[in-house]
Amino acid sequence: MYISGTIRGAADNVDTTVARTVQTFLMSSAFGRMKEVVALYPVKRLTGQQLADYSRKVIALLKRHGLSVIVLISDDNKMNQNMFEELKPFLEENGIKAMYDPVHILKNLRNNLLNKRAFMIPAFQDFPDPSKIQDGEEVFGVMFEDLIRLYQKEADQLLKQAPKLTYKALFPSNLERQKVSLAMKIFDDTTIAALKNNKAEVGTILFLDLFRKWITIFNIKNPFHGIKSRNPLARPFTSENDERLQFLEKFIRWLQHWEHISLTFDTNFLTIDTHKAVLQTTRTMIDIIKIYNRKPNVEYILPGKFQTDNTEHRFSNYRQLCGGNYNVSVQQILEAEKKIRMKSLLGTKSAQYGKIQFRIQNIKELCPQSELENVNPNCAVEMFDSILDHYDENDVSIDKYALLFTGGYAAYQVANQIDCDLCRGFLRTEDTKGNYFQILNRGGLTIPSMQTEIVAQHAHTILHLLRSENYETAFLRATNQKQILMKLTRDVLLLDGNFSEDNVCTCKRSHFDLIDKLLPIFANILLKNYVKEHNDLAARGKYQGKKRKADTLKD
């Protein structure tokens, strides 16, 4: 491109050739918030050797400016692997580590499971000699079909034990395989808990649970996340004697032993690239934690700092600044980078209002909570009134574990908004129950009261009727589905007999004051799951259409 007297877009690594991509180097502080692009190289068909040369230049540049490079991070494609091999002597000489991005590794682990469908893995125990197979050693099967069966079992349910497990998570397209969120759904705590509760294969649960723990450790980005989530695995590293380091070392030996078993008995194993990336990344993180925990000026270490998320976020900014286009030119990238750097130097200021301060109070003033959430008694529900004539909540089955977990979430949200112990007692109880609930509970989950469960069950039943063939078309054409669901549920609760507007607490709240706070939460959950169900149907239809077309062409 010729612009402002300059030709842009020529490849830096090949003479007289137009660049096809831009190699980006971004530095990110391991113990602070600073992150900035260091170099942008327009390139075409970059090789591992050329990438290693660029890396040496960037490291030298950072050192000249007084910065210390701890680790070099990239995804685990073949070019980056070749680059690390080429740089190995240079990195060792300068005390720099090399590792692969844990998030990319997690996607590759999911892809391995999708492609190979089944593995045979050993029990998770310490193997002093990973190359030695013990007599009578037990192995377990990892079956992708376990996840499919769980999804199919709950596909038509509005409340699920495994709400994260969607059709796209199990059957992603080639483009969707790049989405981290879909990979995380496979390894989610609720998915693992649902598999345990439904007595899936021991190997499937073990495989998902181990790599869930692994990514939890590698994804610690906030020093307080472990406390808030009551998850000891998510706390920052403050000592080189941390038990999680022992887990990671044991994990390495287990992975090596699994490889030896697969080679000995010719069973499915991870791809060579994925296996190598997991081992190298885990070893590197152990070394970093041990080395820097000994330094007196380092209070704690967050493994989530050692990722390529900041680079991916910068790429996203480039695309958004270029009109939301996925494919952008070299010139557009350079211009976008200039805009980002200029923006970081400027404050947010308006010619009319002066300096603008964004505060949560401003948002609340514009959109009061009562205006957004309270049930609107005047919402148009006349066309759905006949639902109440033949309403019976016992006609619709509901998963009691999913009801318990969802009700607990709603009770927790509402209880945090009030300061009356009697009203909180109306919402929640101490009577724990259910294996699924116990699997997910780390001591902080709220147990819903019978009244909260009744509200959830009625809302579930109303939506189940609204999506029946008699009402679904009209319901989808309406513009206030949430208000319709809440209004009908409230009308049913008025007829239920368990609640009364005359029952008023000492704090002057009635039963329905609390119910009106619960209903928006249940409505949001149910309607989101309803939309997901429709999206799954559309995704399945698209996939089956492609398959049918391919089969027709084949014939």
What is the predicted pLDDT for the residue at 370? 38
Backbone angles phi, psi at 69, to 5 degrees: -95, 120
Closest to 315 measured CA to CA, from 343, 336, 338: 336
Q: In one letter, which amino acid is 543? A: Y
Give the gyration radius of the chain's Cα atoms. Answer: 28
* Other beta carbons less than 10 A from residue 451's beta carbon: 22
Counting every residue written for the chain, the total comes to 555
Helix (H), strand (E), coil (C) string for 442-489: CCCCCEECHHHHHHHHHHHHHHHHHCCCCCHHHHHHCCCHHHHHHHHH
* Other beta carbons less than 10 A from residue 285's beta carbon: 22
Q: Tell me how far the alpha carbon of residue 541 is from its chain's centroid.
A: 25
Token duo for residue 212: 């869930």
Helix (H, G, I), strand (E, B) or coil at 398: coil
What is the predicted pLDDT for the residue at 365? 44
What is the predicted pLDDT for the residue at 368? 41
DSSP code per residue over 99-134: EE-HHHHHHHHHHHHHHH-EEEEE-S---SSTTPPP
Please tell me the distance from the alpha carbon of residue 227 to that of residue 232, in angstroms, as a whole number.
7
Q: With beta carbons less than 8 A apart as the criterion, state whether 531 and 463 touch.
A: no
* pLDDT tens-digit readout, 130-177: 888 887 788 999 999 999 999 999 988 899 999 999 999 999 999 899
Q: How far from 541 is each of 164, 212, 469, 544, 551, CA to CA, in Å?
A: 20, 31, 19, 5, 15
- pLDDT (tens digit, 0 to 9) for every residue of the chain, 555 residues total? 566 556 677 788 887 677 888 999 999 999 988 899 999 998 988 999 999 999 999 999 999 999 999 999 999 999 999 999 999 999 999 999 999 999 999 999 999 999 999 999 999 988 888 888 887 788 999 999 999 999 999 988 899 999 999 999 999 999 899 999 999 999 999 999 999 999 889 999 999 999 999 999 999 999 999 999 899 999 999 998 999 999 999 999 999 999 999 988 888 999 999 999 999 999 999 999 999 999 989 999 999 999 999 999 999 999 999 888 888 888 889 889 988 887 765 555 555 556 655 454 544 443 444 333 445 545 567 778 788 877 776 677 888 888 888 999 999 999 999 999 999 999 998 876 667 777 777 777 888 999 999 999 999 999 888 888 888 888 877 778 888 899 999 988 888 777 877 788 888 888 889 999 999 999 999 988 888 887 787 777 766 766 676 676 665
Token duo for residue 390: 């033949």
Closest to 317 measured CA to CA, from 331, 333, 305: 333
Please tell me the distance from the alpha carbon of residue 528 to that of residue 526, in angstroms, as a whole number.
5
* Other beta carbons less than 10 A from residue 216's beta carbon: 21
Q: With beta carbons less than 8 A apart as the criterion, state whether 194 and 214 touch.
A: no
Half-sphere exposure at residue 108, Cβ-oriented, CA atoms within 13 angstroms: 19
Please tell me the distance from the alpha carbon of residue 106 to that of residue 179, in angstroms, as a whole number.
11
DSSP code per residue over 168-187: HHHS--TTGGG-HHHHHHHT
In 343-471 the beta strands, taken as DSSP E runs, fall at 349-350, 354-355, 428-429, 447-448
What is the predicted pLDDT for the residue at 1? 59
Please tell me the distance from the alpha carbon of residue 435 to that of residue 197, in angstroms, as a whole number.
7
Report the relative pairing of strands 97-100 and 71-74 from DSSP bridges.
parallel
Residue 550 has what DSSP assignment? H
What is the predicted pLDDT for the residue at 353? 55
What is the predicted pLDDT for the residue at 518? 94
Closest to 221 measured CA to CA, from 109, 306, 335, 289: 306
Question: For the whole model, what pTM was predicted?
Answer: 0.82
Backbone angles phi, psi at 307, to 5 degrees: -140, 175
- Contact residues for 94 (Cβ-Cβ < 8 A; gap 6+): 59, 69
Please tell me the distance from the alpha carbon of residue 467 to that of residue 532, in angstroms, as a whole number.
13
Q: In one letter, which amino acid is 322? A: C
Please tell me the distance from the alpha carbon of residue 118 to that of residue 67, in angstroms, as a whole number.
46
What is the predicted pLDDT for the residue at 553? 63
Please tell me the distance from the alpha carbon of residue 186 to that of residue 166, in angstroms, as a whole number.
9
- Contact residues for 69 (Cβ-Cβ < 8 A; gap 6+): 59, 62, 63, 94, 96
**Residue with the two structure tokens 């948002």:** 363
Beta bridge partners, 40, equal 24
The DSSP H or E segment spanning 330 is helix 330-345
Helix axes 202-218, 189-197, angle to 10 degrees: 160
